[in-house]
Structure 1
Amino acid sequence: MNNLAILCVDDETIILDSFTEQLRRNLGKTCEIEAAQSGKEALELIEELQGEGLEIALVVSDQIMPGMKGDELLRKIHDLYPKTLKIMLTGEADAQALGKAVNEANLYRYIAKPWDETDLILTVKEALRSYSQEQQLAEQNQELKKLNVQLEQLNASLEQKVVYRTLELQKVALAAEVANKAKSVFLANMSHELRSPLNSILGFAQLLMRSSTLDPKDKDNVEIISRSGEHLLTLINNVLDLSKIEAGRTVLNEINFDLRQLLEDLEQMFRLKAEDKGLQLVFDLPVDLPQYVRTDEVKLRQCLINLLNNAIKFTSEGGVSVRVRKQKATTVEFGNSQQEISCLGDRKEPETIDLSAKRIGSACQFLEFEIEDTGAGIPAVEIDTIFEAFTQIKSQNKYQEGTGLGLAITRSFIQLMGGEIAVKSEVGNGTIFSFDVAVSSVDAAEVETKQQMRREIGLEPNQPRYRILIVDDKWDNRQLLIRLLSSLDFELKEASNGTEAVDIWEVWQPHLIWMDVRMPVMDGCEATRKIRFQESQKQGELAIDRTAIIAITASTFEEERSLILEAGCDDFVRKPFREKIIFEKMAEFIGVRYIYEEEPLQLAAAVSAEPVSEFSLSQDLSTMPQEWIEEMYEAAQSIDNEKILQLISQIPPARDSLGQTLKDWASIFRCDRIIDLIESAN
């Protein structure tokens, strides 16, 4: 016999039978499903069931019933059995009754008639999960109370003191477990809520960057907003990654990619940061390093970024070296003369490594990565704790920014990729982090070529005028997509919930719908199911084109991905998104073809091309006031881009070639070119 029970209350027999039948079909194996046709009968039945040893986890009651109405019943149940969750089921949206139920009966949810079975089961399952979690926490708290009582009963003798210490440790461990679970739930929820407004911040910053009328100072301001938003997003993602790791919800997403290109990108990314601190950055890649491999590129990249960030952050002189090589053995030996901690010797057996099915039969090998710095080093007393979450090196004299999550996340990601991480360090002589990952070599033909970054400025001719529907309950999120897409002459309409979206779809037949997932009235998944159902019904009557539907979600959990695709969405995009992904998805699913802006300031062109001779630039420079030249030289030496752009704005139109060249160099932080030009001219 099941220990949990669900009680359904409705005075209409047909509705009650339908409701209980759906619950028994979906939840009958885990819960007892009971029914009552009045409030009085429900209260009597609850007392009877409790006498039989059943826990009444959930009561679902109709509102309009003779005798005792639903809100009154739920209030009485709350007074008698406060732990029982309550859901109101009604065909009439009685705001006053709902308000009373929420305020006086702690109403858990409200379900409108007629209900959707899928939504009903999901809501009830979530209620049962919430009830079980509350009971578990209550049991743990009760256990803590018992431990406290036991501790109070111990005294005097040495044996009793030993028992006391043991119980105290159990109490601390149990309290820590409760706190960790509560923290993980809180962090995951907060991270989700923060990603939505960040979508607007970063999205509108991207829109401003597209403007050709932005003056250099305003452009710098927008870039600061964007960089700060990206930094905040990184911190939020770290927190969310940790909560997923603790909950065991992190998965491996393997792809084929160019390993050498990944490492070159990281070298370019960190070179300027290293040079700003006067550090050397060296990437040592052997000739036999495989170029094309298969593993989780995103997680590998994040691990390397975390370790490189730390290496540069904690190094004030000398340099940072990155070495990658094929691993010849399954362990990495460190010398005995330095403090070290190594997990590599405890490698899992090969059959326990979580590799995808595509690796079976392919050449699987281990690559070892080493990141070495000449920084302050890590004291022996702290080296055992550096992989713990929210831990930072306490012995550093100055405050270091960050959450203290990077190394904890890095170790978890590396273990997920089939490897382990080790660190050796000597105070005053630097640190070496070493980790290995399992990869498969693949052919170049199996690697998707990354498209060159180009900016979309219009649509190619001879295309239909694409109808795009934007669905989101937040006005600013809708405006972000509207302003982005209206510049390319799409025909646009918007809806604030799923019901409006379905109504507009029926009349307007858009080519593509951008569908937010979480919305009031009707969410994105339910709206998508209704549209797909109506499409299937209409296909037999007349020829209609299938509307592409792409979900937009702030969630990063994989289980939501499967729910979105099962509902009928073609794909999904996570908030905050980049404008590039929006255009790419539209090209992929409805065949939009774009006109791209030429990019004269691309890195390669800006570095190697010389549209203006050095002699001509020197001649133009000699016409500028000496005070201006000295200020430009000082700004270039200080890598003060804001000052450089301010000085460039003072160059007269007749010397436009000089101004444009200096602006090109400043945009890619080639202050050394500016310094060389001034020195050669003098």
Structure 2
Amino acid sequence: MHYDDVTYNIREKLLKRLINVGIIICLFGICEQMLIKPHIIALFPMLFLLAALVAGHIMSSKYNRTDIAEIIIGVVAIYVTFPIIYFTSGGIRGGAPIWFVLGLFYIIGIFNGKKMYVFLTCAIIEDIIIYVTGYIYPELIIPIESEGKIMIDSAFAIIFVGTFLGVITKFQLNAYNRSRKIAISQRDEIEKFSKSRNAFFASMSHEIRTPINTIIGLDEMILREKGLSDEVTENAETIQNAGKMLLSLVNDILDLSQIENNKMEIFPVKYSTEDMFNELIEVVRYRIEEKGLAFYVNIDSSMPSMLYGDAKRIKQVLLNILVNAAKYTKDGSVTLTAKSEAVSKDKCELTISVLDTGIGIKSENINTLFDSFSRGIGRDVNNIEGTGLGLSISKQLMELMGGEITVDSIYTKGSNFTVVLEQKIIDAKPIGNIDFLVRKGSRHLAYRRLFEAPDVRILLVDDNDTSRMVITKLLRETKVQIDQAKNALEALDLTHKKYYNIILMDYMMPGIDGREALQKIRRQENGLCKESAVLLMTAEGDSSIINKIMEEGFDGYIEKPVQGNGLEASIMSFIPNELLEFKAKTENVVVKTLAGETIIKPNVLKKKLIITTDCVCDISTGEAKQLGIMQVYLYVNTPSGRFKDTIEIGIDNVTSMLEKDRRNIHASAVSVEDYENFFASRLTEAEEVLHLSFGKNMGKSYWNAISAAKCFGSVHVLDSGLLSCGLSIVIKYASEALKNGASLEEITKLVQDMKGRVNTRFLLDSIDPFYENGYIGKKMRNIFNLFHLHPILAAKKSGLHIDGFMLGDIDSARIRFIKKTVKKIKNKTVNDIYVSHTGISVKQQEMAASVIEKAGICDNVVIHKSSVTNACFSGPGTIGIAYYKK
């Protein structure tokens, strides 16, 4: 039912109710007039109104003409009855003014649109005329004989008009409440349906992508084999392309769901135009050529070689158009044309068109061509496969990217689809004359492994046996060591016994899913993989859902169906260089991260500058990877041997060891030779290295780094004056400045300026670690221990100094320490607050976070575990806080 029909029904019910109440009021009114007004003329108003109400009742009930009924009642009541009541019932000294109010209320409550404005205007003018006439010619008004009768008349008007208005108001409120309940019920049903649909799409994505993963993965293993016959190679390539086309159909359905829910996102990256067109043409050419169609490609040779945009979505749009061209063309050709035109120094406009000689589109159907599930009514499509989603999704993707897609078609002759899109220029060097169709025979490129790392241990967690088998085979040539777990419980058992550099975690598993398994690994007591890189493996196609999952703490993700090169590239990006025995020179490879898709180019081009630091900066391996920071390890010496911090030993293992035997566990700087090896490796990746060392008066590391840097003309060591959470803040701003194109001199100046603006303080449980590291004498240590004082240390002048103390138990002291620091910075402009800790409970961490959040002094609050080295220095139970004021 149309909205106007619903409104009309409500007004009809309201009018009928008013008529019934009005008839009753009129009958009482006639009695009242006979009682207090002797003039027979005084009865006429109520008789007129009663007649109008009866007529309205007949018109609305018998003839269903509510519109006429409301006009009859309105005209008689407002323009006949109420004026007569005014002149026969004492004018303003009676109940007449109250009836005028009823007339205005009736007009506003019953009429709509122009009718309401006309009636309202006429009623107001009439009221003014009546009042003016009564004032100028008072003799026209028949007075009521006594004050008592005036009161009775006024009371009657108030009671019955008030009742009448109450009925209208009550009815409207009831109607509103009923409508609101219906709306809430419908909203709940829609939300329930939406959740169920999203769950269905997620399940469908997983269930369909998993077998596609097997098909494409095993097919890739076939294509890797040498000495295959041309027929086997051709069949394998056909299977692979068919699998990709099937995947494209699944993606269309999932993309439609994202677009409808406003969750579709665009992820721009740097991309090679040559690579993009190569990949596009290789996927679609077999569809065109198998139909016996000619395929022409004309790519402008002056097109910039490197652009910035969402290459994945651009390829998706063009693929949809090209596939449609092949579908709807029986004879003739398909032509892909692309050109670029500079619109500014760093931007160009891409114009890409696809011309076919197919059946074309009737002009009356072009307007609906881009609607979902539309395949062009009137086109000969009965025997042509497809969902009708491709063009709808393409149009909406183009709008999200700020471009447009248009079509020009002649029915029975063919169509020309054109895409226009502005892109940022990264490298303006022209791609030159490239024959994208030059490859004859097999389209298959020989497989080349990206790396070999036999010492790298990987844990593969997936409940699907076939998926584990496929991924294991795809990684076979990299020589990594792979252990398998078919569920989260098996994975947790393995991570408790064995260290893994990387964990590949499937998301949808029965029982404990990938997200919960990740949290259990990160919090596992005495677990060996708390700091390991965990990569999410998912068949989920919704980017917004993937991002939400990634925010749980995954270091990256691998999308199913898994592609061999993409899988190797993702894993290689989390392997330290020292563990890579072989690293191939590769072309662009896309790696999935929380920020979207990132192109990496191993061993192709050196960076101008990279930033390194010591592992005492208290950031996890995953955070360091995201910031692009390489860390120098420090040594942790234990009764069981010497270990490399961040590489061979974890913070939780050290914390439990310190609680049992603190005296025999300590950290030490790496040697000058170790620094030399570290800097030499970094200079294979960049032209210059800026090493941000922790405070020069906090140990030997700064001086060893200075000595090592003398061997290289391109290594610069800078004393940050900080360590732990304070150094974390400096590293964050330095890496952001580097990403924004800052020079070595600019970053050095930034760090020097931050040195005096980053305030770093620590609360230790005991003074003993500070004494054992030679910072204070025995007398001072004895005083602190005698009175059970918890020392507060501050980073000043590139060293650590006692800055106060706390009394009481350590748990309450920590909260008081945080509150005191918060109070100290409450009136300052603070940009970042970093908190690091060694072995304090989750409850204490939450309390500390709550204190800072309630103060509302900073939006960026980061709480993380301290490094192993810092734990050795400060002892278990330490909490540190650093803040930066610009």
TM-score (norm 2): 0.40
* Partners of 2:557 and 2:214 in 1: CA distance: 18
* Partners of 1:185 and 1:159 in 2: CA distance: 49
* Partners of 1:227 and 1:287 in 2: CA distance: 28
Q: How does 1:437-516 map to 2 (within 5 A)?
A: 437-443=421-427, 455-456=447-448, 464-486=454-476, 489-516=479-506
The structural deviation recorded for 1:385 is: 1.0
Task: Indicate which of 400, 404, 408 corresponds to 1:420.
Answer: 404
Correspondence 1:404 to 2:396: no
The structural deviation recorded for 1:393 is: 2.5
- Over 3 Å counting, the alpha-carbon distance change for 1:180 and 1:232 in structure 2 is farther
CA-to-aligned-CA distance 1:273-311 (integer Å, 9 cap, x gap): 545545443344445433322111111111111112222
- Over 3 Å counting, the alpha-carbon distance change for 1:444 and 1:568 in structure 2 is farther
Question: Counterpart of 1:575?
Answer: 560
* Partners of 1:246 and 1:379 in 2: CA distance: 28
Secondary structure class of the residue paired with 1:518: coil
CA-to-aligned-CA distance 1:195-227 (integer Å, 9 cap, x gap): 223222322333344445877766665555434
Letter in 1 for 2:386: G
- Over 3 Å counting, the alpha-carbon distance change for 1:469 and 1:421 in structure 2 is same
Question: Counterpart of 2:337?
Answer: 323
The structural deviation recorded for 1:456 is: 4.8
Question: Counterpart of 1:281?
Answer: 295
Letter in 1 for 2:470: L
Conserved? CA contact 1:195–1:576, under 8 Å: yes
The structural deviation recorded for 1:253 is: 0.7
186-195 vs 388-397, which deviates more?
186-195
- Over 3 Å counting, the alpha-carbon distance change for 1:156 and 1:310 in structure 2 is farther
Task: Indicate which of 350, 353, 358 corresponds to 1:367.
Answer: 350
Correspondence 1:528 to 2:542: no
The structural deviation recorded for 1:467 is: 2.1
Correspondence 1:258 to 2:243: no
- Over 3 Å counting, the alpha-carbon distance change for 1:377 and 1:571 in structure 2 is same
CA-to-aligned-CA distance 1:128-182 (integer Å, 9 cap, x gap): xxxxxxxxxxxxx9x999799889999977989xxxxxxxxxx9xx999899957
- Over 3 Å counting, the alpha-carbon distance change for 1:158 and 1:270 in structure 2 is farther
* Partners of 1:484 and 1:309 in 2: CA distance: 29
Question: Counterpart of 1:556?
Answer: 541
516-525 vs 182-191, which deviates more?
182-191
The structural deviation recorded for 1:509 is: 0.8
- Over 3 Å counting, the alpha-carbon distance change for 1:159 and 1:193 in structure 2 is farther
Q: Which has the larger radius of gyration?
A: 2
Letter in 1 for 2:261: A
Conserved? CA contact 1:457–1:597, under 8 Å: no
521-530 vs 242-251, which deviates more?
521-530
CA-to-aligned-CA distance 1:569-620 (integer Å, 9 cap, x gap): 221101111122222222221254559899xxxxxxxxxxxxxxxxxxxxxx
* Partners of 2:510 and 2:224 in 1: CA distance: 33
Question: Counterpart of 1:294?
Answer: 308
Secondary structure class of the residue paired with 2:251: helix
* Partners of 1:178 and 1:423 in 2: CA distance: 36
Conserved? CA contact 1:239–1:405, under 8 Å: yes
Correspondence 1:239 to 2:253: yes
CA-to-aligned-CA distance 1:301-360 (integer Å, 9 cap, x gap): 11111112222322334433333344699xxxxxxxxxxxxxxxxxxxxxxxxxxxxxxx
* Partners of 1:158 and 1:386 in 2: CA distance: 44
* Partners of 2:218 and 2:12 in 1: CA distance: 60
The structural deviation recorded for 1:386 is: 0.8
Identity of paired residues, percent?
Answer: 29
- Over 3 Å counting, the alpha-carbon distance change for 1:597 and 1:412 in structure 2 is closer
The gaps in structure 1 that reach 5 residues or longer are 1-140, 161-170, 330-360, 599-682
Secondary structure class of the residue paired with 2:484: strand
Question: Counterpart of 1:436?
Answer: 420
212-221 vs 243-252, which deviates more?
212-221
Question: Counterpart of 2:204?
Answer: 190
Q: How does 1:665-680 map to 2 (within 5 A)?
A: none
The structural deviation recorded for 1:454 is: 5.1
Secondary structure class of the residue paired with 1:435: strand
Secondary structure class of the residue paired with 2:398: helix
* Partners of 1:192 and 1:363 in 2: CA distance: 41
* Partners of 2:583 and 2:427 in 1: CA distance: 32
* Partners of 1:495 and 1:484 in 2: CA distance: 17
Conserved? CA contact 1:456–1:594, under 8 Å: no
* Partners of 2:565 and 2:425 in 1: CA distance: 30
CA-to-aligned-CA distance 1:614-647 (integer Å, 9 cap, x gap): xxxxxxxxxxxxxxxxxxxxxxxxxxxxxxxxxx
Letter in 1 for 2:317: C
- Over 3 Å counting, the alpha-carbon distance change for 1:148 and 1:507 in structure 2 is farther
The gaps in structure 2 that reach 5 residues or longer are 14-59, 69-182, 432-443, 587-886
Secondary structure class of the residue paired with 1:291: strand
Secondary structure class of the residue paired with 2:460: strand
* Partners of 1:268 and 1:565 in 2: CA distance: 32
Conserved? CA contact 1:368–1:435, under 8 Å: yes
Conserved? CA contact 1:526–1:567, under 8 Å: no
Tell me how large the CA RMSD over aligned residues is: 4.6
The structural deviation recorded for 1:409 is: 0.8
CA-to-aligned-CA distance 1:435-482 (integer Å, 9 cap, x gap): 31121111269x9xxxx965257975xx55332211112222222223
Conserved? CA contact 1:498–1:522, under 8 Å: yes
* Partners of 1:531 and 1:487 in 2: CA distance: 28
Letter in 2 for 1:387: F
Question: Counterpart of 2:368?
Answer: 385
- Over 3 Å counting, the alpha-carbon distance change for 1:213 and 1:295 in structure 2 is closer
* Partners of 2:517 and 2:384 in 1: CA distance: 47
Secondary structure class of the residue paired with 1:442: strand
Question: Counterpart of 1:5?
Answer: none
The structural deviation recorded for 1:252 is: 0.8
The structural deviation recorded for 1:419 is: 1.5
Question: Counterpart of 2:795?
Answer: none
The structural deviation recorded for 1:531 is: 2.9
- Over 3 Å counting, the alpha-carbon distance change for 1:508 and 1:213 in structure 2 is farther
Correspondence 1:205 to 2:219: yes
* Partners of 1:474 and 1:151 in 2: CA distance: 62
* Partners of 2:517 and 2:233 in 1: CA distance: 40
Conserved? CA contact 1:458–1:489, under 8 Å: no
* Partners of 2:511 and 2:5 in 1: CA distance: 44
- Over 3 Å counting, the alpha-carbon distance change for 1:444 and 1:257 in structure 2 is farther
The structural deviation recorded for 1:244 is: 0.8
565-574 vs 271-280, which deviates more?
271-280
* Partners of 1:373 and 1:327 in 2: CA distance: 24
* Partners of 1:200 and 1:396 in 2: CA distance: 37
The structural deviation recorded for 1:494 is: 1.6
* Partners of 1:243 and 1:465 in 2: CA distance: 43
CA-to-aligned-CA distance 1:91-143 (integer Å, 9 cap, x gap): xxxxxxxxxxxxxxxxxxxxxxxxxxxxxxxxxxxxxxxxxxxxxxxxxx9x9
Q: How does 1:35-46 map to 2 (within 5 A)?
A: none
Question: Counterpart of 1:376?
Answer: 359
* Partners of 1:152 and 1:378 in 2: CA distance: 48
The structural deviation recorded for 1:403 is: 1.1
- Over 3 Å counting, the alpha-carbon distance change for 1:530 and 1:233 in structure 2 is same
Secondary structure class of the residue paired with 1:229: helix
- Over 3 Å counting, the alpha-carbon distance change for 1:282 and 1:197 in structure 2 is closer
Letter in 2 for 1:416: L
* Partners of 1:288 and 1:456 in 2: CA distance: 31
Secondary structure class of the residue paired with 2:307: strand
The structural deviation recorded for 1:261 is: 4.2
TM-score (norm 1): 0.51
